[in-house]
Structure 1
Amino acid sequence: MPTHEWATASDGYGSPRRPYRKAQLILGVALLICLAVVVVRQMTGAPGTKNYKTSVDCQVNTVGSQGTVTINGTITGDSTSYSVTVDVLDVASQQRIGGQTFEVRGTNTFSGTTPAEAPIGASGIDCKITKVA
């Protein structure tokens, strides 16, 4: 008869298994796979990933409470075609007052005129590129 008895209530052999370890292992492997996919896509330049640099400038012309905005911009990068969306915002309210999408193919410049949908405030306008595809 042993002098010390080591036992637990659910003793099969050894300590009871912790169920969350399996879930942690599965989650860890899934995260590593996702990270590997992202790294490979970045390294190979997979379709859908475009490197580019943009700039945009806008000028407003108002007559009374109506106005038009002239948009001029450039885009340079590793692709020959882009779809560039530019939003025109009122500086004071940050409300969208106009915008346009440009299909840029075989060149690095885009330009156009769009109507301003609301009276333009005294603070002026701001143009932002909101999407490049």
Structure 2
Amino acid sequence: MVVADTNVWARAHLNDDPAQARKARKALAEAQREGGVFVPLLVIAELAWVLRGRWERERVLTALENMLQTRGVLVEAPGLVREAIDATRAGGGGGFADHLIAQVGFANGATGVITFDKRYGRAGNVQRP
């Protein structure tokens, strides 16, 4: 198993540099066949941010869902990623990374989130300092 950096996933998804995109997709496909690709939560959060700069929110969330369902791709804490995707779709403010931070916190015993983010501050269990 290998870990692919965010930039490899971003190139594979965005195709903004066709030569690098081909290399990224080939490397990911080979790794998936030969033992798998591990995707840490940090890579998921970074990738969502990079993709959101170019794509609409729903397309980003669909790309993340596809990663959860891809054979040979092991996403860290897939249940938390799924919950963050669902929370982002449900609205209430904040982006995917905000919801992922909250889900990781809740899974580790947190009961709320403190943030200066005014948009996210409207969500449940969120308070402003």
What is the TM-score when the length of structure 1 is the normalising length? 0.23
Higher RCO (Cα < 8 Å, 6 or more apart): 1
Largest Rg, 1 or 2: 1
* Structure with higher strand content: 1
